[in-house]
Structure 1
Amino acid sequence: MKFPVFLQDPLFPQELLKLGSQPRTLYKSWIGYFHQREFDKARIAANTIIAKAREKKCVAADGKIHVLALAGVRSWYGYYMRESGLLQALSENPDAVLDQTVSTNYSSEQGGFYTNKLIKRYPKACAIWASGDQLALSAVDALEKSGFKVGKNYFVGSVDLTGSGVDAVTKGQLSVTVASGYATFIEVLVKTYDYLNGHDFLDDAGSVVLPPIVTADDQTAARVKKALESLQTADFRYLSKVYNKKLIKYDFTLETLSQLPRRPSE
């Protein structure tokens, strides 16, 4: 028996080509491919922090909102997709300008180190876009230690949607964190379960998973936090067409996930 495989994007184009470009073409055991929509998430995060800076009149003497970027590692293709999303957001906001992008690993140490370097080099900046909540939170820490009031005269946003990131948004430390989050992996697990039990999701959902993007900002963070917490006890079987015979269409939105029955106690 060949084990069915789901692959997570983004892969480098040449890697994807070697695999046949799409699931079930060259390798039949490659049953699905799930997109993390890195471009879209990065664009949303950047647009949010720019809008926050504009709202708080965080504008330099040249009339521009100056942005810094902690962009992650270049060895991952998602780096370039996220960078493109950031640049797209900047093109949509003529009053915003990118002072510098730095490539980092995703550690708090590097996040803090580069934030300290950048804010000294670019004193006009008042917004930081980060490719991960850990980078964003370390940037917040560095900014606060340097005397900035994050959320008032400096704005930080991220692509990640970790529990700590969402919690930081509820506290006003981050302006936004964006991702598909746990919903993506829940969808992959459920569809793999159904596939192994005789229901091929290809027939009604296709082989490519394009999960909904979840945005936690000052308007939605409390609701997102509550929904994510509910996943700890949710009974995901109700999302399965094998288990739930009444299910007509797959639905993995965070709203649906948060309303699932609790798992029976063991």
Structure 2
Amino acid sequence: MIKKLFVAMAFSVCSVKVSAADSINVLFVNPSLPGEPFWHRVQGATEAAAEQLGIRLNVIYGEGNRIIQLSELTKYLNYRATPDYVILINYPGGAEESLRLLEKYEINHITLEQTISGPEKLAIGNPKEIYKYWLGELHHDNDKAGYVLAKQLYLQAKSKGHKEIYPVAINGHYGTESDIRSGGASRFFAEVGVALQQTVYAGWSKEQAFEKTKKLLSRYPKTNLIWCASDLMAMGALTAAGENNNRAVFGGFDWLNDTFELIRDDDLHASVGGHFMMGAWALVSIYDHHNGHSYWQNNSELAFDLMVLTKENLDSYHWIKSAKNWHSIDYKAMSLIDKPDARYQFSPKLLRKTRQN
């Protein structure tokens, strides 16, 4: 997920150091800012996987801007040792330049999420078609995820006694994955004959979601379901609804730290997630590629499902709220080394625990 941010920062690099002299060197391009809630989780899980797999991981930041991300990547490659692999997101409007740069340096790379469409997608093609060092895409189905969240919230609203459902949707920003997510929600509501009253854009911002929810509730006082493209925006919507004494059901994406307690307290009713693991899963596939596995020779994508978290299954996943527990995940068990006929089974279900650590 690309969070649109507008803060400019100096070039910075952090490193997870590994003692092995011949370790794999990987550059992870965090598309956001240090500490941004969702991408901080992605980076933390990726760092935990790197330590377990003996990978030397460096991190740079794109600051939510395609121009800054390309500039930081260019500076890194110009002034530091060339990494063996790069993990990054293709920013809309900047994919060709990033891919050309990595091709110039002959660096194998994996992209996260499918963020490019239309003419730009035709220009870059599929992995390995035009850019041979682009090994593939690791992604999930945002349309399906948006649909699943809408369905879960609809069922919860019905279970709470709402005979008629009056939903609104709060999206991230125009284009890419947020529109695909809300498209999945629209598809579900159309299937069950429910009119989506309005979709607004809040730029992935909790504050904007708060302000826009106040306006939506004034415009549509019967609203009893608020679908959000992120948990952070759902938290803003929740606060606005509380001030308006509205008892809607709420849901979002990302499984942020606060999400777990909000679901436990029945304030937030669902969150779709598990994709905070995508950087770690990309590292597992890189570990395998570096050690001779043929997956990325024979495939150009690696798809995984997301999962909806509710009060009913919270106890099985609450343990992942703590970053220290990400180091207890067995990343090596996910490897396909010495499993020639196996395929990756990346899924949030891999994180299920019968008890909290």
Q: Do the structures match in fold with TM over 0.5?
A: yes
Confirm or deny that 1:51 pairs with 2:144. Answer: no
Give secondary structure in 2 for the equivalent of 1:65.
coil
Taking the TM superposition and a 5 Å limit, the aligned residue runs for 1:116-195 are: 116-148=214-246, 153-195=247-289
Deviates more, 1:222-231 or 1:22-31: 222-231
Q: What is the match of residue 262 of structure 1?
A: none
Question: Is contact 1:158-1:176 (8 Å) kept?
Answer: yes
- 1: CA distance, partners of 2:230 / 2:181: 11
- Residue identity over aligned pairs, in percent, reads 23
> 1:163/1:214 Cα in 2 relative to 1: closer, same or farther (>3 Å)?
farther
Confirm or deny that 1:213 pairs with 2:312. Answer: no
- 2: CA distance, partners of 1:130 / 1:2: 40
Give secondary structure in 2 for the equivalent of 1:98.
coil
Q: What is the match of residue 13 of structure 1?
A: 118
The RMSD of aligned alpha carbons is 2.1
Give secondary structure in 1 for the equivalent of 2:161.
coil
- 2: CA distance, partners of 1:168 / 1:71: 20
Question: Is contact 1:160-1:178 (8 Å) kept?
Answer: yes
Q: What is the match of residue 85 of structure 1?
A: 184
Question: Is contact 1:71-1:102 (8 Å) kept?
Answer: yes
Q: What is the match of residue 210 of structure 2?
A: 112
Cα offset, 1:227, TM superposition: 4.7
Q: What is the match of residue 169 of structure 2?
A: 69
Cα offset, 1:258, TM superposition: 5.0
How many residues align? The count is: 245
Letter in 2 for 1:127: L
> 1:255/1:125 Cα in 2 relative to 1: closer, same or farther (>3 Å)?
closer
Unmatched runs of 5 consecutive residues or more in structure 1 = 260-266
Question: Deviations for 1:188-216, whole angstroms, at most 9, x for unmatched residues?
Answer: 11112221232232367x32111122210
Confirm or deny that 1:254 pairs with 2:348. Answer: yes
- 2: CA distance, partners of 1:112 / 1:256: 34
- 1: CA distance, partners of 2:348 / 2:177: 23
Question: Deviations for 1:136-170, whole angstroms, at most 9, x for unmatched residues?
Answer: 0111111112223xxxx310011222232233222
TM-score of the pair, normalised by structure 1: 0.84
Give secondary structure in 1 for the equivalent of 2:173.
coil
Unmatched runs of 5 consecutive residues or more in structure 2 = 1-104
Give secondary structure in 2 for the equivalent of 1:125.
coil
> 1:126/1:34 Cα in 2 relative to 1: closer, same or farther (>3 Å)?
same
Letter in 1 for 2:158: R
Give secondary structure in 1 for the equivalent of 2:198.
strand
- 2: CA distance, partners of 1:174 / 1:42: 16
Question: Is contact 1:43-1:89 (8 Å) kept?
Answer: yes
